[in-house]
Amino acid sequence: MATINGATLIARSLKQQGVDYMFGIVGFPVVPIAIAAQREGITFVGMRNEQAASYATQAAGYLLGRPQACLVVSGPGVIHALSGLANAQQNNWPMILIGGASGIDQNGMGAFQEERQVLVTTPFTKYSHLIERTDRIPYYVEQAVRTAWYGRPGAAYLDLPDDIILGRVDEDDVRMASTIPPTPRSQAADVDVEAALAALKTAERPLVIVGKGMAWSRAEDEVRGFMERTQLPFLNSPMGKGVMPDDHPLSVGAARSLALKDADVVLLLGARLNWIMHFGMPPRFDPKVRVIQLDISPEQLSTNVPTEVGLVGDGRAVMAQLNAAIDSSPWQFPAATPWRDAIAAKIEANRGSIDAMAADDTVPMNYYRAFRDIKEAIPRDAIIVSEGANTMDIGRTQLNNAEPRTRLDAGSYGTMGVGFGFAVAAAVVQSDRPVVSVSGDSAFGFSGMELETICRYQLPITTIVLNNGGIGGGFEDWPADQPLPPSGLSRTARYEKVCEAFGGQGYYVEDPADLRPTLDKAISSGKPSVVHVLIAAQADRKPQEFHWKT
């Protein structure tokens, strides 16, 4: 009778459930799993730190629309990957973490890399379980993948002890699980669809906020159809950018503060009223703002602001319901209203102050000058990865996304260090798209050694480092006899040489005149490259009406 070992069974089960990519680092006791995964047709991407591998896994899951796997060793490997679990949970992105564990027969003995892994992963997952018998591996894999994927997506953890990985069972005794069908596309109640449209029609100053839930549910066609029908002003959330193109005439992105503050009815589409949206509260929102909310999970309704109408269901399915209801009783927000005029005037005023900074050729550059060229150099279909404080916040306003799921950033959790993992995932799972990552000099440092991964796999990723000499900025000259400020980083570092060290291309730009040609060269080369751009150490954002973060 043929036997099968745990490593092969886990690889085969993952492949059966649509896992085509595994990011990770091998060692005790997971080497056989990685080898089996390759044999079963899963692409294994070996990385340099489990944090980056866990970030890559969730980005791959988000881009592909189903969970992928991260493979890590016991103890410290699992602990490093906690960062990814937490980030995935906060972003509502699916991922499966497979952690090796010391043998069950050594539990509690002080085994090599022994850790209570189910315990430590539980707060950061939707599902966390020990696999205690080799023949039950398919059962647990199915549960983990389905739980991470269905409903509000998130992280799942499977604990695989050494003796379970190496254990052999008769193939005839193994019950393979059934293959999980795509996520159910649940619809909202018809009365709620009607109530939502009725509420929208009463708005004088309506605003649609498009979140990454719409990107996740692949609702872009339906959302675009809804905007064409209703002509409502809209704002993209940071990673909702591209579901509606940023350069669409109905976008209020360039008058964000005004649109949020004065809207009387907000239609939230797969977005949350968390810190990114200032909790939906004063002073950034009208205290009397009315909220219509579409979300996959009912428990999200009324978070921070009571929901007037809840549309609970799959983003794409519910948007199709809204469009059908409008088709049977057409309605449009009028073309000429004081609300549209106020938004247009604000967009115009904001453009003036930004244009002046973007035209300033002073050396070292300010952010807006740098982003002027970066924006023009980035191909329209590129995936843009971004992290940093000023670098990410200003970049979000200055760089356009034209297509859904083309922006990956520090996200709801604000995690620095995600960029390289996200970029690796994007280049691996969407190899037809250029990948451009824009990172602050601090953000670059968290996972910088993944440049070796990028160069080893020859991934066509251009990483642009905007160096202002610190966390949110540094100093041009710091007196040698003074202790360095906590936020200060090296002003003379040559980040581009890290890429050269691994066989990639490195460029250093100080003069604004050199920026565009250098970016074009790097991006069009299709080779791993780092473009290091020196930014004035005290360069800042355009004057803000509200200071909401330090």
Ligand X SMILES: Cc1ncc(C[n+]2csc(CCOP(=O)(O)OP(=O)(O)O)c2C)c(N)n1
Coil vs helix vs strand at 442: helix
Of 399, 403, 419, nearest in space to 411 by CA: 419
Cβ distance to ligand X smaller for residue 305 or 465: 465
Task: Report residue 346: phi and psi, to 5°.
Answer: -70, -40
- Give me the residue label for tokens 């929208």: 200
DSSP type of residue 181: P
Residue from 11, 416, 435, 436 touching ligand X (CB under 6 A): that is: 416
Which distant-in-sequence residues (6+ apart) come within 8 Å of 532 by Cβ?
A: 465, 467, 494, 495, 496, 506, 507, 508, 509
Tell me the C-alpha distance between 39 and 432, whole Å: 25
Q: Which stretch binds ligand X (CB under 6 A): 349-357, 372-380, 408-416, 508-516?
A: 408-416
Tokens standing for 113? 């890399």
Tell me the C-alpha distance between 468 and 300, whole Å: 39
Tokens standing for 380? 């329209």
Residue from 148, 273, 357, 389 touching ligand X (CB under 6 A): that is: 389
Residue from 390, 401, 453, 529 touching ligand X (CB under 6 A): that is: 390
Cβ distance to Mg ion smaller for residue 117 or 442: 442
Cβ distance to ligand X smaller for residue 412 or 442: 442
Cβ distance to Mg ion smaller for residue 286 or 441: 441
Coil vs helix vs strand at 127: strand
Shortest CB 54 distance to ligand X, Å:
13
Shortest CB 417 distance to ligand X, Å:
5
Shortest CB 532 distance to ligand X, Å:
12
Tell me the C-alpha distance between 348 and 217, whole Å: 34
Does 440 help bind Mg ion (rule: CB under 5 A)?
Answer: yes
Residue from 58, 468, 518, 529 touching ligand X (CB under 6 A): that is: 468
Cβ distance to ligand X smaller for residue 18 or 472: 472
| Beta bridge partner(s), residue 100 | 160
Cβ distance to ligand X smaller for residue 147 or 412: 412
Tell me the C-alpha distance between 129 and 143, whole Å: 10
Does 386 help bind ligand X (rule: CB under 6 A)?
Answer: no
Q: Do β-strands 265-269 and 206-210 pair in parallel, antiparallel, or remain unpaired?
A: parallel
Could you tell which of ligand X, Mg ion, none binds residue 29, using a CB distance below 5 to 8 A set by kind? none
Under rule CB under 6 A, which residues in 424-453 are in contact with ligand X? Answer: 440-443
Does 468 help bind Mg ion (rule: CB under 5 A)?
Answer: yes
Under rule CB under 6 A, which residues in 472-491 are in contact with ligand X? Answer: 472-473
Task: Report residue 467: phi and psi, to 5°.
Answer: -100, 105
Shortest CB 52 distance to ligand X, Å:
12
| Beta bridge partner(s), residue 463 | 437, 530
Q: Do β-strands 529-534 and 461-467 pair in parallel, antiparallel, or remain unpaired?
A: parallel
Q: Which stretch binds Mg ion (CB under 5 A): 8-16, 148-156, 298-306, 434-442?
A: 434-442
Residue from 441, 450, 452, 496 touching Mg ion (CB under 5 A): that is: 441
Shortest CB 515 distance to ligand X, Å:
16
Could you tell which of Mg ion, ligand X, none binds residue 443, using a CB distance below 5 to 8 A set by kind? ligand X
Q: Could you tell me where the DSSP H helices lie in 248-389?
A: 256-262, 315-328, 338-358, 367-377
Residue from 75, 153, 417, 528 touching ligand X (CB under 6 A): that is: 417
Q: Site residues (CB under 6 A) for ligand X?
A: 388-391, 414-417, 440-443, 466, 468, 470-473
Contact residues toward Mg ion (CB under 5 A) are 440-442, 468
